[in-house]
Structure 1
Amino acid sequence: MAERRGGSAAPRPPQKRRPAGARPSGGSGRDAASSAKTAATPTGRTPARKATQPRREPRPAARPATRRPSSGRGAPRRYRKTVRMPIGETRLRIRVFSILAAVAMVIVGGKAVFLQGIDSSAYAATAAEKMRYTQDLAAARGTITDRNGVVLATTEPAMIVSIDPKIVRTNGADERYPMTKRKIQEKDAAPNAVADLLVKHLGGKKSDYLKAIDTPDTRYKVVAKRVPAATYIALQADMKAGIDGDGKRPWYGVYSESDPIRVYPNRTVAASVIGFVNADGKGATGLEYALDSTLRGTPGKQMFESSTYGRIPMGDNTITPAVDGAAYELTIDSDVNWMAEQILANGMKKAGAKTGMAVAMDAKTGEILALVNNPSYDASNPGSADTADLGNRTVTMAYEPGSVQKVLTMAALADQGLVTADTRVEVPARIASGDRYVRDSFDHGTLKLTARGVVAQSSNIGTIMLARQMEKSTLSDYLAKFGLGSKPGSGLPGESTGQLPGGDMPDYTRDQISFGQGLSVNAVQMTAAVVAAVNGGIYHQPSIIASGTYADGTPVDVATPTSRRVISEEASAEVREMMEAVITLKEGREIPGYRTIGKSGTAQRYDADCKCYNGFTASFVGAAPAEDPQIVVYVVLDQPTNGNLGSQLALPVVNDILSMMLPRYNVAPSTTAAPDEPLTYD
């Protein structure tokens, strides 16, 4: 009985058994295929075949079939043994496939439900976040003006210039779609063309711009900051002109953001006062540094939606406006400051001084009207200056004041009732102090001087003899009340305190500080002290910030300068009388039309490098009019080489500045002549 296949085939007629080892006769392709399939059955038996049919000759080997012959046709082939999977039944295959398909549908459906129903808001937020961009909006830095409204520092429109590297590389073409030959040419030329335009308008190296353009992992690259608006407008004009210059085929991919630039219209005028901002727009020196927190304002933000090809026109756009910085008005007069700068520079040239300082102060308020440092710098280009010149020496540099200090010593003595201008003192050629002797700057025998004469002739010995009447602690206390030994509190950054010995100082130290050695001051500190000595005895804290106003119009809380009485009006009058004798002592020291007062100073200069005295500091302080001082001017020349006397080098500078300022501030000329009071006695 023939073997059944699959349990459904009809029974076949019996066949003759083929002798062992005999080859089967050639049959049709179908028979050959059946034989091959049967040979692969698990039983290994050869099933019965149908009746022998005529054998067809095989095709020549030289002409192989170009395609696989259909079942039952063509020459007999030798088949490899087929490896079948355990699942062999059609119904089973269908069942397994159906189960797998059902599982897949459950997974996909579940994910869809999760995304749309369970966590749709979270995924939507994540997707939106990837499309949302934040851009900072710069706040305009506040303006700084002088007492007359003249702008000293302001902010002008400028730009951060950035590129979208992808847009530049493709010149805005969408690479997802086929491009014309012309578009391809534009795309290939764009990087070099845009880089050339950036060099033309922004400067820099073309290689740096090409490197920025060839950045595939970003859509935003800053190529320049603080670019003037006019420069960016010119750049955009060339970008829009494009390849042919007619605007029909522009270049794309260069953008801008607001990046205001700091401008100093008067350049060197009061540069040491105003200071400058650094590359990040933060105050680096001067008032730009001291007031930075309120000057810079509060930046804003803009949030917008963007796609791969730029901002979405109708997308969500949220803006938090920037709040501009506060504006400040100063006490200084920029015109006076400029003229004082010229006068000081001329005086330094004549003296051969290394550095110079000038301070002009309102004697009634302590307001600083002019403040000059030389050498100075251009605030618009601070990088070209020596680092040592970027500060403000009038508040940072501590030095020994020399004989200008005698004004304060005499003021303290006069307030104690120990000295008047007519007090007599017999001055020897020298005086012992500690283990040394002190001499005057000029040789002399015994002199009979009034206190007026001691100040006029600047006698160190006479000052020591008068100061020894006072307790050391009392002298130290008076000097502290005049502001020595503490920061002036002017509002300028970097103020030094100077150095003031305490009340327990040695006797020889009391001798030294009485005539201006053994203690140190800064120029603003000393000016304010002299103002108190000559204005009737009131110390006014020096100030340079008059007022401030926030962008919304509300006032800034500016510290109000303090005032205090140090000496009596009578004592102050005695001091003025002594100081006027300095002017009347020699011809040529007066200012035409005004009675003036003053005091010179020549001090040995302490050199921190060698820790020794090296060179001199020449100075002079003057005020006018003598009857009721309105303006006090103090000039310091450091390390002069053409002499060292303050009365010769610094006095002319003070007089020139006062001569310029008195008429400007409508100070009435004097109506009486200076008294001719005795400097000596018999």
Structure 2
Amino acid sequence: MRANASDAVTPRRPPPVQPLGGGRYGFMLVLVVLALGVLVGRIVDLHVIDRTFLQGQGDARTLRVESISAHRGMITDRHGEPLAISTPVVTLWANPQELPPDNIQRLMLAQALGTDLNGFNARVERYSEREFMYLRRQMTPEAAQRILDLNLPGVYAQNEYKRYYPSGEVTAQLLGVTNVDDRGQEGLELAYHPYLAGTPGKRRVLKDRKGQLVRDLHLLREAKPGGDLVLSIDQRLQYMAYRELKASVAEHDADGGTLVMMDARTGEVLAMANQPSYNPNNRAGLDPRGLRNQAIVDVFEPGSVMKPLAMAAILESGQFDRDTVVDTSPGWMRIDRYTIRDVRNYGELDLAGILEKSSNIGMSKLVLQLDDPLVADKYRALGLGQSPETGFPGEATGSLPAPVRWSRSQWAALSYGYGLSVSALQLASAYTAIANDGVRLMPSLLKLPEAPSGTPAIDPQVAHDLLRILEESVQPGTGARRAGVPGYRVAGKTGTVRKTSSEGYQEDVYRSVFVGIAPVSDPRIVTVVMIDHPRGGEYYGGAVAAPVFSKVTGSALRLLDVPPDQHDSASSTP
């Protein structure tokens, strides 16, 4: 059956799309245009207007200029043996704002640093507003790496150098020390810091936001290492001198002591030891007295060791000769309001006997016959009361009063070593004039390229005569006999000086001093030994200081390969 055409289904057409009204279309178009305008404006702002500022801010977060540490110069003895060297170390630091808040991670870090968690957290809290705090300075690279291997955020490393002193307390006061920033603080480290320190370098690097190095971009300035400093010190002699000085101070329960050994031909200081001392590699609990280089910065009244120097002025005056005889009886004399005494009544003495017996009466009577201040002038010619010019920080000039309205007692006291002050280094330098044909040599702490010319200070013949007299003063039977050195001829003078306080000279408190020259036939070394306040009964210079000279000088002459001269006749001309 065929369907009726009228029954066919007619499909529905979709309703016609109504066009947007003019208002709605315009509104949408404005929004699109505005959005595009804002976007374009922001692009222009970022890439044109604020480009320089934003690029600088970005570089500041990625580009860094880092300092390159300069290797501090080495200090060596005269033979190249190291006395002060710099070793690489690592300093750990942290950004407190980046450290993990987790206590387990913080506990791991605190334990690795050797501290407790509470203390570590308290320290982090104090620095919470900052971006830098030290964790540990100057660690060994191995110890620092163990902490870095924990891979904790906010922990960083910085390469530095730390000073190390192989000779420890033996050269502590002479070398001095550097601080944690490797800057010289004492001694030669301070005096020569600009030369030793060098110049740090700079490099530009790229780092990520965590501060980790991404790339080393380029070198801005190379690090210039510091220069090496070669001292006049002979490390072998220094160890030996320090050992003997320390043993003597302990044996006599003394407050301290100092020893200076100089080359009689050049003025170079071959050894300089002090007691007490300290270990510069471990300064925990150090005695502040040990920081002082007493040989250079401290002064004392020298006492009878000045008599040979005063005798030089007496002999040069032309009024006396070696055969002049002085009556020292009865062993004491009054000058002004003071009484001057000898140990006992020595009677008549020639000039050699006055020095051998160390007669205060004999020296006083000779000096009081001089019209001019010859003794004071001689002391000045020998460098006393003046700077030794070594460049050492705080070196003492000593004191030598100007001869203005001096009393007779002051003139007399000056001749036997009272009323002035000197350092051990100044005393050694003065005695080089006796050892070196009358020419005084300035002391040097640095190795010299050649022997200096020196300054004439004593008539050569007078210097020879004094050397002969001082040799007689250390013969068997004399007060200085314990200064003798087997196989060698030596010359020297003892001194025993009462110490002073604010109330004047102290009873039974002394300094024991000895100054010696060896060998007499061809002087090589001049040595000064001073022991401060020896106790236990012995305090004379011949009993306390002279034995130290004997041991040190004997070892030094053998180490320096100086041939023995004991076979020479004692009466031969040196």
Normalising TM by the smaller chain, what interval? 0.7 to 0.9
Q: What SS class does the counterpart of residue 438 from structure 1 fall into?
A: strand
User: How does 1:24-103 map onto structure 2 within 5 Å?
Assistant: none
Counterpart-to-counterpart distance in 1, 2:368 and 2:86: 57
Secondary structure at the aligned position of 1:169 is classed as: coil
Residue 253 of structure 1: how far off its partner (Å)? 5.0
- Write the distance in 2 (CA, Å) between the matches of 1:649 and 1:216: 62
Q: 1:146 to 1:169 in 2, by over 3 A?
A: same
Task: Determine the C-alpha separation between the residues in 1 that align with 2:37 and 2:503.
Answer: 90
Q: Does 1:395 align with 2:290?
A: no
Aligned to 1:309: 210
CA contact (8 A) 1:407 1:530 kept: no
Superposition deviation, residue 667 in structure 1: 1.4
Distance in structure 2 (CA, Å) of the matches to 1:315 and 1:324: 21
The aligned residue for residue 459 of structure 1 is 359
Deviation at 1:303, TM superposition (A): 2.6
Partner in structure 2 of residue 655 of structure 1: 550
Match of 1:140 in 2: 71
8 A Cα contact 1:421 1:575, kept in partner: no
Pairing partner for 2:59 from 107, 128, 135:
128
Deviation at 1:168, TM superposition (A): 4.8
Counterpart position of 1:520: 421
Partner amino acid, structure 2, of 1:621 = V
Residue by residue over 1:20-64, the C-alpha shift from the partner in whole angstroms, topping out at 9 and shown as x without a partner, is: xxxxxxxxxxxxxxxxxxxxxxxxxxxxxxxxxxxxxxxxxxxxx
Aligned to 2:8: none
| 3-state SS of paired residue (1:338) | helix
Q: Is the 8 A contact 2:97 2:129 kept in 1?
A: no
Separation in 2, partners of 1:613, 1:400: 13
> Which residue matches 1:51?
none
Unaligned segments of structure 1, at least 5 residues: 1-89, 171-186, 240-249, 548-557, 678-682
* Alpha-carbon distance, 1:118 to partner: 4.8
Which of 392, 397, 400 is residue 500 of structure 1 equivalent to? 400
Query: Alpha-carbon deviation of 1:455?
Result: 0.2
Query: In the TM superposition, what whole-angstrom CA distance separates every residue of 1:444-503 from its partner, at most 9, and x where no partner exists?
Result: 16x111100000000011011122233443322211110100121223222111110113
Q: Residue type of the partner of 2:80?
A: G
- Consecutive unaligned residues in structure 2, runs of 5 or more: 1-20
Q: Secondary structure at the match of 1:519?
A: coil
* Deviation digits for residues 587-609 of structure 1 (CA, Å, limit 9, x no counterpart): 644322111111000112122x4
Q: State the match for 1:431 in structure 2.
A: 333
State the secondary structure of the residue aligned to 2:233.
coil
Match of 1:666 in 2: 561
Q: What TM-score do you get using the length of structure 2 for normalisation? A: 0.87
Q: Does 1:298 align with 2:194?
A: no
Structure 1 counterpart SS, 2:344: coil
> 8 Å contact 2:205–2:215 — kept in the other structure?
no
In the alignment, is residue 602 of structure 1 matched against residue 496 of structure 2?
yes
Q: CA deviation at 1:251?
A: 5.1
Closer, same or farther in 2 for the Cα pair 1:436/1:166, shift >3 Å? closer
TM-score when scaled to structure 1? 0.74
1:672 is aligned with what amino acid?
D
SS in 2 for 1:259: strand
Shift of residue 102, structure 1, vs aligned partner: 7.0
- Does residue 582 of structure 1 match 2:482? no
Deviations 1:598-639 (A, max 9, x none): 1000112122x4454452111111111122311111111111
Query: 1:225·1:259 contact (CA, 8 Å) conserved in 2?
Result: no
Give the stretch that moved more between structures: 154-163 or 667-676. 667-676
- 1:346 partnered with 2:247: yes
**Which residue matches 1:380?**
281
Within 2, Cα distance between the matches of 1:304 and 1:673?
A: 76
1:161 aligns with 2:92: yes
Q: Is the 8 A contact 1:594 1:669 kept in 2?
A: yes
Matched, 1:412 2:313: yes
Q: Which amino acid is 2:540 matched to?
A: L
Displacement of 1:413 after TM fit?
2.1
Asked if the contact 2:65/2:204 (under 8 Å) is kept, the reply is: yes
Measure, in 1, the Cα distance between the counterparts of 2:104 and 2:494. Answer: 74
Letter in 2 for 1:365: T
Alignment of 1:281-296 (within 5 A): 281-296=182-197
* Cα drift, residue 139 of structure 1: 1.5
Aligned length: 544
Q: Distance in 1 between matches of 2:209 and 2:538?
A: 74
Which residue does the alignment assign to 1:564?
A: 455
Matched, 1:675 2:566: no
CA contact (8 A) 1:149 1:329 kept: yes
Identity of aligned residues (%): 29
Counterpart of 2:110 in structure 1 is: 195
Write the mapping of 1:132-281 to structure 2, written as runs, cut at 5 A: 132-165=63-96, 168-169=99-100, 189-196=104-111, 198-199=112-113, 203-211=114-122, 220-236=132-148, 239=150, 253-281=154-182
* Greater Cα shift, 367-376 or 560-569: 560-569
Q: CA deviation at 1:217?
A: 5.5
Report the CA distance between 1:327 and its aligned residue. Answer: 0.9
Write the letter of the residue equivalent to 2:142: A
Deviations 1:186-242 (Å, cap 9, x if unpaired)?
x7743333333x23xxx23433444566766566543111111232234445x3xxx
